[in-house]
Amino acid sequence: MRALAGGDQGALAEIYNRYAGAVWAVARRVCNDRVLAEDVSQTVFVDLWQRPGRYDPARGRLRPWLVAQAHARAVDAVRSESARSRRQERDGQLAPTTTADVEAEVHAAALSEDLRRAVDGLGRDERAAIMLAYFGGRTYRETAELLGAPEGTVKTRIRRALAGLRQALEAEGVTP
């Protein structure tokens, strides 16, 4: 990171090599659109290059931070009106009868086996809330509407899901 702050392009290339897979993965999952996901992923690295000081190593490792940056940008992208209409057109074309539960399960189904186990260990309500909010890019208000639950309840479910996932991942030897 020091090399990056000093304008070392090789440092950016190394960071890209390590973390482009994670940045791309979260952008693609949330955007559900490769062109949009590519733009989001590029912006994350360009932003890191231009403002490396935004990352504070004392706060945690670079991967979760970059994933959080990519997620926030991906969510912004899909919430913009034009992107939303594109996504709806695409969703509508392929899955006209998708319900919130199915959408949540689709996101969970895309996970690998060990992560799936962790997610499956959550209660149904918690699983739906975190999948819709995180991978679906929905706000807690939208999630509440989709699930027919009060907004406060959805926030609680997201918090419980995160706690449950942390526990499950730790039990599998992954320390998040």
Q: Is 61 left (phi over 0), alpha (psi -120 to 50) or beta?
A: beta
# chain residues binding other proteins, by CB under 8 A: 79
Footprint of other proteins on residues 6-25 (CB under 8 A)? 9-10, 12-14, 16-18, 20-25
Footprint of other proteins on residues 37-56 (CB under 8 A)? 38-39, 41-42, 45-46, 49
φ, ψ for residue 9, nearest 5 deg: -70, -30
> Toward other proteins, which CB reaches closer, 26 or 100?
26
CB 162 within 8 A of CB 129: no
Binding pattern to other proteins, positions 108-127, x when CB under 8 A?
-xxxxxxx---x--------
Footprint of other proteins on residues 127-146 (CB under 8 A)? 130, 133-135, 137-141, 143
Distance CA 37, CA 35 (A): 5
> Which member of 3, 117, 145, 162 binds other proteins (CB under 8 A)?
162
> Toward other proteins, which CB reaches closer, 68 or 124?
68
CB 87 within 8 A of CB 78: yes
**Count of beta carbons in the 10 Å neighbourhood of residue 165:** 19
> Toward other proteins, which CB reaches closer, 2 or 59?
59
Report CA dihedral (42, 43, 45, 50) to the nearest 10 degrees: 140
> Which member of 53, 59, 82, 148 binds other proteins (CB under 8 A)?
59
- Asked if 64 is part of the footprint of other proteins (rule: CB under 8 A), the reply reads yes
- Asked if 89 is part of the footprint of other proteins (rule: CB under 8 A), the reply reads no
First and final CA of the chain: distance in angstroms? Answer: 22
Nearest approach in angstroms of CB 158 to other proteins is: 5
Distance CA 140, CA 158 (A): 9
Nearest approach in angstroms of CB 149 to other proteins is: 13
